[in-house]
Chain A
């Protein structure tokens, strides 16, 4: 047998597929049964097939560099990440619970602000929020829902606990890769899909369509849905086009749309102007409407906010939804769940220290070498300081930034992300990973089955972002009871 789990060099981290004794976990047994039948040559052949398929299918992400956009093939590992269905069901319930509480919060914050008046959420955090949009105050979108698509990052620490690391409520991406990964795996290991009970993932685009269609201001007609992209140079362009294609929606750029004097949004077609009902926007708030936000934006549509406030167009995610996509607001989500839903949080937060509180700040400053410090409003890992890996001067610089603007910083203990066996050369080696499920809400709630597993391909690295050497794996939710 070539790929033998008992010789797998497990590290200190929790491993998703192999237990401490070196045996495959129950959900992964079938996979290893199957892998044991493949020798090196067969394995290499499968990998070559998958690489060729990625090239031909053009599954790429774009890196913009030196004035040119370079398409990189999507780095994909053929060993799946596997989770048992029972564990997943609990996580799924936790994800839905979390998104509905977050939406209650956003709706409250732009309207009555009960949670502030009741003293559960501090006014000063709100005042310091960079993603709070005054232009949205007093608006009541359909179903009271602002964040219709949420990408929640989950990580597992060394004791096996799954934590929520962050909620991406602005323009989360990656779902197309989740779907493409599954397609690749079906091409690669069709026999495994017969042998094991792997739950399907491909209803996502249908559910996304339904979520968006429910926002149409003209419910009696078949809605015209547009995916608004910044254009071909955006790193997620592949996904924008993929989702539009899968949903039968129209992929538009800002310049394709125009808002009439009647505050209705139209697109410019060869047959004149045609009304648009719902926009799934993949452009940040700040750029969607130069009349309301940044005047210099050429990506947006002048007047879009007017139309939205008049209720002639549904926008997902609603402008302003990013107010809850803030590392400090994050720390309050368990309280939101209690306050709005009268429930206990199913999924725990990573313990967090808010630098705006004096005692917590003192603790953070005294333990910078053990903590990860994050700015409140950045995404993609920007401005983060990983204490144990930082130099003394980096830590000092971080300390002074915290003191200058305590509201904008929070800290968490350094987690040891779980690993899964990954094919490196001809052998299996542990690599750290996370999981981004996608959760939808409009008239109902939905979570993807599993999600996108991102994996740090470099040994010992904890950075899973594709721009920094990260790859991905197919994620299998397996029913092991049969």
Chain B
């Protein structure tokens, strides 16, 4: 596997996952919004913080109202994290991967791209937003299903899965984190029904509500939701699950010592986190720490397998293998 191809596969995994996570986040927020009591306020700009795009947003968009923020997150081509940009990057990447991916995968990604181009602007307004984004998720899952079932789970697949899970774990921490931030000013009664509603929104956004109720509790309490979304070993969108997936993928790749070590650091830190009765501020620090660990895993993968590896090697005049 060429280093350049491995890197493109990794980013293909990230871009596709990013588009799906963004769609989930926006949909969940929109749903929650409809359920909030009249006097409760919801800050739309909070969504921007979740995506980690505060600076870019402040520089390029003046108003922080719903329409401006939806436009920025869904259709803005200047925002590299927007859904349209993510899908376009995924398509550009898969163009360079046509000889690696099953043929149908390219066709489906291309058709996902055509769909997003055609429909994304209608998702900015509330009327059709949920419907369009649900279709996007559906189409993205058709791609995921194809890649899971019609492609050998070989090295190429591993790199895609690595990108996908680094991105997914990162997004899960951001979604958990943001809800904490929203709740801070209004948290007089810890188990206020509207707060429970927000946590239900978080669970639904990750398609985790039903599984949470089955495996944890019918009651939705913030501490147990956070614990579930970070530490559950079986639900595929939890941080724990993603880290385990990274570890098992990496173990099948050559030269994996560095990346695996970074993954284990993250796993240990997560296991050591006490999530009962922590203040939102501490919870926020935890999320930052996990995000930093994920960034380190990314750097390790990148320097071990992608361009950085070769720059170093050529500089060191290392010997030639096989």
Contact = CB atoms under 8 A, between A and B. Distances in A.
Given A58-B106, A270-B1, A275-B322, 12 more contacts: A56-B110, A57-B107, A58-B107, A237-B95, A251-B96, A256-B4, A264-B320, A266-B320, A268-B4, A269-B2, A269-B3, A272-B322
B99 A245 contact: yes
A251 B107 contact: no
A232 interface: yes
Contacts of B320: 260, 262, 264, 266, 272-273
A250 interface: yes
A93 interface: no
Nearest to A264: B320
A270 B98 contact: no
A340 to B, nearest CB: 38
Interface string A327-347: 000000000000000000000
B227 interface: no
B96 A232 contact: yes
A36 interface: no
B305 A241 contact: no
19 contacts: A56-B111, A58-B107, A58-B110, A232-B96, A241-B95, A241-B98, A249-B99, A250-B2, A252-B2, A253-B4, A266-B320, A268-B310, A269-B1, A270-B255, A271-B255, A271-B321, A274-B321, A274-B322, A275-B322
A237 B98 CA distance: 11
A241 B107 contact: no
Contact of A273 (B254, B255, B321): B321
Contacts of A121: none
Interface of B is mostly: helix
A109 interface: no
Interface of A: 55-58, 232, 237, 241-242, 244-245, 249-253, 255-256, 258, 260, 262, 264, 266-275
B99 A271 contact: no
Contacts of A237: 95
Contacts of A260: 320
Contacts, number: 71
A270 B107 contact: no
Interface in B92-126: 92, 95-96, 98-99, 103, 106-107, 110-111, 114
B6 interface: yes
A56 B254 CA distance: 36
Contacts of B110: 55-58
Interface string B248-267: 00000111000000000000
A262 B95 CA distance: 34
A281 to B, nearest CB: 16
Contacts of A256: 2-4
B92 A232 contact: yes
B64 to A, nearest CB: 31
A82 B253 CA distance: 52
A208 to B, nearest CB: 14
Contacts of B92: 232
Given A232-B96, A245-B98, A274-B322, A268 B107 contact: no
A60 to B, nearest CB: 9
Contacts of A268: 2-4, 310
A465 to B, nearest CB: 23
Interface string B162-182: 000000000000000000000
Interface string B281-303: 00000000000000000000000
Contacts of B4: 253, 255-256, 268
Nearest to A55: B114
A58 B1 CA distance: 25
Contacts of A270: 1-3, 6, 155, 253-255, 305
Contacts of A251: 96, 99
A275 B114 CA distance: 39
Interface in B163-203: none
